[in-house]
Amino acid sequence: MGGDRQNTKAEILETTIPLFANRGYAGVSMRQIAQAVGIKAASLYHHFPDKGTLYIEALAQAFSKYAAFMSESFALQTRPEQRLHHLIHHLCIIVHEDDNFSKLMQREIMDGNEKRLELLADQVFSDFFQDMNELCLLLAPDHDPHLMSVSILGQIIYHFQITPIRPFLPGYSPEHDKAEIIAQHIMNLLTNGLNNSSE
C-alpha cells in the first residue's frame, strides 16, 4: 500500500510539471490535476495538503533531476575556471533541452508571488546558489559573489528566453541555437572579463 501511494505521488508530480509550466500556477486547479493523473480530487489531498505545497514539490522535482550534475560541477577537483565551465555547459544543456523547467522558472519569476518565491528560494535553490557564491568567491575574490552568481545565471537563461526572436535579428546563425556554442561563448565572456577587469 505504501509503495502504491509513493508511486502515485511521483506520478502526480511528473504530470503536474508540464501543467504548471504551460498554464502557470493560477491556471491549474487541483481538480484538473487530479483528472490529468486519473485520481479523485479527494485522493490528491492525501498526498498534498494544498496546491501551494504541490507546486513547490513539483518545482523541486523538476530541479532535482539535475542536482547531481550541479553537485558534480562544484565538487570537481580542478581549477575554479574548469568547474565554472563544467557548470555552464550543463546548465545550458538543461535550459535548452527541458522546456518545462525553463517555462516554470520564467512563469514564477514573472508572476512574482513573494511567498512562493521565498519558498522556492529556500527549499529548492538555496544550496545550489550557496555553491555558486562560493565558486564565484574562488574565481574573483574582489567581486560581489551574489551579483556574480546572478549575472552568470542571467546570461545563460536570457539566451534561451529570446530564442523565438533571435532568428530574425541581424547576425543570427543556426549555430547560435546549440547549447555547447552558447556555453563556450558565455565562458569566453566571463573569462576575459575576469582576467581584464580592474573593478
CA separation, residue 177 to residues 92, 169, 182 (Å): 11, 13, 7
Range of the domain at 95: 65-196
Helix (H, G, I), strand (E, B) or coil at 38: coil
Half-sphere exposure for 111 (CA within 13 Å, toward CB): 20
Strand intervals (E) in the chain = none
- Pair 139, 81: CB distance under 8 Å: yes
Across the chain, what does the average pLDDT equal?
87
- Pair 162, 105: CB distance under 8 Å: no
In angstroms, how far is the first alpha carbon of the chain from the final one?
A: 61
Final residue before a domain boundary, out of 41, 60, 79: 60
Q: Are residues 78 and 36 in the same domain?
A: no
Average pLDDT of the residues in 5-13? 75
Q: Are residues 152 and 175 in the same domain?
A: yes
Residue 195: per-residue pLDDT: 56
The pTM for the full model equals 0.80
Give buried/exposed letters for 175-193 (b at 16+ CB in 10 A, else e).
eeeebeebbeebbeebeee
Number of domains forming the structure of the chain: 2
Q: Are residues 19 and 70 in the same domain?
A: no
The tens digit of pLDDT for each residue in 127-172 reads 999 999 999 999 999 999 999 999 999 999 888 888 889 999 999 9
- Pair 11, 37: CB distance under 8 Å: yes
- Cell numbers placing 108: 514564477
CA 179 to chain centre: 15
The tens digit of pLDDT for each residue in 69-98 reads 788 899 999 999 999 999 999 999 988 888
Q: Are residues 74 and 167 in the same domain?
A: yes
* CATH at residue 76: 1.10.357.10
d(CA 129, CA 121): 9
CA separation, residue 192 to residues 124, 144, 178 (Å): 31, 17, 21
Q: Are residues 85 and 132 in the same domain?
A: yes
Give buried/exposed letters for 148-173 (b at 16+ CB in 10 A, else e).
bbeebbebbbebbeeeeeeeeeeeee
Residue 198: per-residue pLDDT: 44
Q: Are residues 37 and 95 in the same domain?
A: no
Final residue before a domain boundary, out of 31, 60, 89: 60
